[in-house]
């Protein structure tokens, strides 16, 4: 079970990210946040279980996926890379992009790790 400060940290990133998306004109926002509909699972194959992104939104007829990357997630990045690759492929097919909502302090190192495996992602950087 996550410690309360970790949950609060993820919630802060999520709330800040969603506020930014609203400001930038994203629509049909689905999120793990209580005030939104839950995002749908993303599947690679019909017979395999899917992954649920933190946020899905649309803009200009394209679908974008947003993942929260707090310090705990970054420390265990190998555990989520496969999921992120699937999200990246899905968003690209839908004319969108995968974005990470993260702190400035994590963003540069996270970008390097993504480049190493051929992922071109965007960032919404939040000040801690």
State residue 46's pLDDT score. Answer: 64
pLDDT at position 32 is: 87
Q: In the prediction, which pLDDT does 47 show? A: 62
Residue 44's SS3 state is coil
CA 62 from centroid of its chain's CA atoms? 16
Residue-wise pLDDT for 3-62, tens only, equals 556 688 899 999 999 999 999 999 999 998 888 999 999 987 766 778 999 999 999 999
Backbone conformation region of residue 6, classed left if phi is above 0, alpha if psi is from -120 to 50, else beta:
alpha
Q: Which helix (H) or strand (E) holds 8?
A: helix 4-23
Name the DSSP class of 51: B
CA dist 119 to 19, 40, 81, 91, 111, Å? Answer: 25, 22, 10, 12, 9
Q: What pLDDT is stored for residue 4 in this prediction?
A: 57
Asked whether 53 and 63 are in contact (CB, 8 A), the reply is no
Structure tokens at 15: 């709330």
pLDDT of the residue at 93:
95
pLDDT tens sequence across 73-119: 999 999 999 899 999 999 999 999 999 999 999 999 999 999 998 89
Q: Please report the domains of the chain, with CATH numbers, ordered by start residue.
A: 4-126 (3.40.1350)
């Amino acid at each position: 079970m996550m410690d309360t400060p970790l949950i609060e940290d993820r919630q802060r990133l999520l709330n800040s990210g969603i506020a930014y998306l609203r400001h930038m004109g994203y629509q049909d926002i689905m999120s793990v946040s209580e005030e939104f509909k839950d995002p749908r699972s993303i599947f690679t194959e019909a017979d395999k279980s899917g992954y649920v992104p933190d946020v899905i939104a649309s803009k200009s007829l394209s679908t974008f996926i947003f993942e929260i990357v707090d310090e705990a997630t970054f420390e265990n990045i190998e555990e989520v890379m496969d999921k992120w690759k699937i999200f990246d492929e899905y968003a690209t097919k839908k004319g969108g992009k995968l974005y990470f909502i993260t702190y400035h302090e994590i963003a540069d190192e996270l970008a390097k790790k993504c480049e190493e495996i051929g992922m071109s992602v965007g960032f919404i950087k939040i000040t801690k």
